[in-house]
Amino acid sequence: MSGDTETQPQHHWQGVLSSALDAVGHTPLIKLQRIAQEEGLKCNLLGKCEFFSAGGSVKDRIAKRMVEHAEKQGILIPGQSIVIEPTSIGLALACAIKGYQCIITLPAKMSLEKEVMLRALGAEIVRTPTEAAWDSPESHIGIARKLQKSIPGGVILDQYSNPHNPLAHYYGTYEEIVHSLKTSDLPRKDISLLVAGAGTGGTITGLGRAIRDYEASLPQTNGNGSSHVRTTILAVDPEGSILGGGEPGNYQVEGIGYDFFPEVLDPNPPVVDKWLKTNDEEAFTATKRLIRKEGLFVGGSSGSALSGTIRYLHSSEGQQIAQDPNANVVVILPDGVRNYMSKPWFLETSKSPTGEDVGDKEDIKDTIKGILGRDLNDVGSVVQSKGERGEKLEKGDQLMV
Ligand SMILES: Cc1ncc(COP(=O)(O)O)c(C=O)c1O
């Protein structure tokens, strides 16, 4: 893909790390066994869990790589440069560790949690209107450009055009997936289906190119005379994004979809075989399912990727992979729910994907209510009745009055 020479990546943490940047990536590939079973899928459904990365997101990888390469090229100068970029916790993390001032432009729809995290990392935040078209001067991209022109030392590393964005996945994410499969007890070590959401497109493009380059490097037939598996690569974006087709519009899921085609995205075959559109409802339902059934604290776009994957595997096209117990299906789960805890879609946790109660099981709730003689959250009535009875209030009780 490029003349870059890379040192062999480390696949696990050894010894003592020099900083949190060394804990970027190296994320686990985890079986989504309960969901696969519920769906009647025989294949190995595997989630690449990016929330294990130091900054909690797949984007940590590109931030680290873009900063390190910009330093090598003299584009970033310690003590002088101010890094300006749309929407990136990973970048703010790298800047915090390396001592760069950092300004992040953040569309209004992006969660309060992201803003708080960014502030905690010392970044300055500029909110921008969500509705602003990408090329409008008021968009998160437009504002970043405006600031860069006027702030001495301002540098935009530009994840939308920076080749180190897809390269971070070509070398890092891909190698990790290969390593996890090779060292697993799964019967086959190759990838039958890869599914990833697309924002800038760096993830799907880097992974897709690495897979295709690997396939091209193989002899046409293996020892048995049969051909090697060709990986099917699916990109996921939301309804309201134009990347996978359709008109621009509003959607709540964060991190995927755009109203323009970023330069780093290679949206066509052979890299991407097919695009899948998902909507907010199915994304958030699948997110809660990943948490509830698999114990994985993922964010909304992980649900988009999973719901797209399941839909494909149930389609006639996906049947062969779905029913093959040796097939490996890798779904990229880009970030964690930590970034979205105050969002209404997460707070409404009572209904499961199948309509069954998951947060508020009425039967057990009633049992507890019967035992305690009060509502589960009604601390006030306990404090009041203790006080009325002349019992001494404990420290915790007084706090609640
Ligand atoms: C929260 C989040 N960040 C980043 C990405 C990946 O985006 P990119 O296409 O920029 O690599 C995704 C993709 O699903 C995402 O959901």
Same domain, 217 and 340: yes
| Substitution site in 24, 62, 110, 256 for ligand 1 pocket (most atoms within 8 Å of beta carbon) | 256
| Ligand 1 binding pocket, CB closer than 6 Å | 57-59, 197-203, 254-256, 299, 301, 334-335
Which domain range does residue 121 map to? Answer: 76-155
Query: What pLDDT sits at residue 13?
Result: 84
CA-closest residue to ligand 1 atom 4: 255
Same-domain check for residues 320 and 187 = yes
Q: How far from 239 is each of 201, 308, 311, CA to CA, in Å?
A: 16, 12, 15
Q: Is the residue at 41 inside a domain?
A: yes
Closest residue by CA, ligand 1 atom 3: 255
Atom number of ligand 1 nearest to Cα 199:
9
Tokens representing residue 390 in the block: 């002349």
- Domain co-membership, 274 together with 135: no
For ligand 1, the distance from its centroid to the CA atom of residue 92, given in whole angstroms, is: 16
Q: Which of 59, 98, 277, 343 is catalytic?
A: 59
Q: Which of 335, 337, 343 to mutate to test the pocket of ligand 1 (most atoms within 8 A of CB)?
A: 335
Number of domains in the chain: 3
How close is the Cα of 401 to the center of ligand 1, in Å? 45
Which pLDDT value is given to residue 379?
A: 85
Residues 277 and 130 in one domain: no
**Do 223 and 198 belong to one domain?**
yes
Among 105, 133, 155, identify where a domain stops.
155
- In the reported structure, the alpha carbon of residue 145 is separated from the centroid of ligand 1 by a whole-number distance in angstroms of 21
In a domain, 110, yes or no: yes
CA distance 243 to 41: 28
User: Which residue, 114, 131, 155, sits at the end of a domain?
Assistant: 155
Is residue 59 among the annotated active site residues?
Answer: yes
Residue 342, amino acid: S
Q: Are residues 340 and 369 in the same domain?
A: no
Atom of ligand 1 nearest to the CA of 165: 11
pLDDT of residue 3: 43
Q: Is residue 64 part of a domain?
A: no
Please state, in angstroms and rounded to a whole number, the distance separating the CA atoms of residues 266 and 203: 10
In a domain, 357, yes or no: no
**Residue 205's CB: how many other CB atoms inside 10 A?**
27
Are residues 51 and 185 both part of a single domain? yes
Residue nearest to atom 14 of ligand 1 (CA): 197
In a domain, 144, yes or no: yes
Is-contact 57 336, C-beta < 8 A?
yes
Flag whether 6 is in a domain: no
205 half-sphere exposure, CB direction, 13 A CA radius: 26
* Residues 258 and 286 both lie in one domain: yes
Looking at the structure, do residues 341 and 369 belong to the same domain, yes or no? no
Give 68 Cα–ligand 1 centroid separation in angstroms. Answer: 20
Report the distance separating Cα 107 and Cα 145, nearest Å.
Answer: 15
Q: Of 127, 155, 183, which residue sits at a domain end?
A: 155
Pocket test for ligand 1, best of 48, 157, 301 (most atoms within 8 A of CB): 301
Q: What is the pLDDT along the chain (401 residues), one digit of tens a residue?
A: 444 556 556 667 889 999 999 999 999 999 999 999 999 999 999 999 999 999 999 999 999 999 999 999 999 999 899 999 988 899 999 999 999 999 999 999 888 999 999 999 999 999 999 889 888 999 999 999 999 999 999 999 999 999 999 999 999 999 999 999 999 999 999 999 999 999 999 999 999 999 999 999 998 765 555 557 899 999 999 999 999 999 999 999 999 999 999 999 999 999 999 999 999 999 999 999 999 999 999 999 999 999 999 999 999 999 999 999 999 999 999 999 999 999 999 998 645 555 454 555 678 989 999 999 999 888 887 776 666 666 666 655 554 43
Give the position, in ligand 1's atom list, of the atom nearest the Cα of 332. 14
184 belongs to a structural domain: yes
b (16+ CB within 10 A) / e for 168-197: bbbbbbbbbbbbbbeeeebeeebbbbbbbb
Query: pTM of the predicted model, to two decimals?
Result: 0.90
375 and 264 inside one domain: no
Secondary structure, 3-state, the chain: CCCCCCCCCCCCCCCCCCCHHHHCCCCCEEECHHHHHHHCCCCEEEEEEHHHCCCCECHHHHHHHHHHHHHHCCCCCCCCCEEEEECCHHHHHHHHHHCCEEEEEEECCCCHHHHHHHHHCCCEEEEECCCCCCCCCCCHHHHHHHHHHHCCCEECCCCCCCCHHHHHHHHHHHHHHHHHHHCCCCCCCCCCEEEEECCCCHHHHHHHHHHHHHHHHCCCECCCCCECCCCEEEEEEEECECCCCCCCCCCCCCCCCCCCCCCCCCCCCCCCCEEEEECHHHHHHHHHHHHHHHCCCECHHHHHHHHHHHHHHHCCCCHHHHCCCCCEEEEEECEEHHHHCCCHHHHCCCECCCCCECCCCHHHHHHHHHHHCCCCCCHHHHHHHHHHCCCCCCHHHHHHC
Residue 153 alpha carbon to ligand 1 centre in Å: 28
Measured from the Cα of 201, ligand 1's closest atom is 9
Beta-carbon contacts of 295 under 8 Å, excluding residues fewer than 6 positions away, are: none
Contact 335, 50 (CB under 8 A): yes
Nearest CA to ligand 1 atom 7: 199
Are both 204 and 322 inside the same structural domain?
yes
> Which pLDDT belongs to residue 253?
95
Q: Are strands 101-107 and 124-128 parallel, antiparallel or unpaired?
A: parallel
Q: How far does residue 59's CA lie from ligand 1's centre (Å)?
A: 7
279 and 341 co-located in one domain: yes
Q: Is residue 3 part of a domain?
A: no
| CATH code where residue 234 lies | 3.40.50.1100
